[in-house]
Amino acid sequence: MNISAKSIVSNSDMIKNYKSCRMMADKYGKIFILKNNQPDAVLFSIDEYERISLFLEYMESLEEKEVAKVLALLPAEGKRKSYSIEHLKKDIN
């Protein structure tokens, strides 16, 4: 995932300037919030949240074999953690 430096804010900026951070989330779809220079949270615009929610609902509706097919289609670039289907189901519920 490529993250634009324009979509990163500090925790203190988020607290002090919530309105401008919300506007940034609307512009970029999401902003990444850092606390002590470490990733802490993500603020999604409602449009981005709805887009992601639709995808998650779709994935939840699939059978295990279908999920495996979708995962096999994901690009192999970068380091990715592997999760079992049971682990993913547990996180969703």
- 14: exposed, middle or buried (C-beta count within 10 Å: 0-12, 13-18, 19+)? buried
**pLDDT tens digit sequence for 11-41:** 999 999 999 999 999 999 999 999 998 889 9
Contact 44, 52 (CB under 8 A): yes
pTM of the predicted model as reported, rounded to 2 decimal places? 0.65
Structural domains in the chain plus CATH codes? 5-47 (3.40.1620)
**92 — pLDDT class (breaks 50, 70, 90):** very low
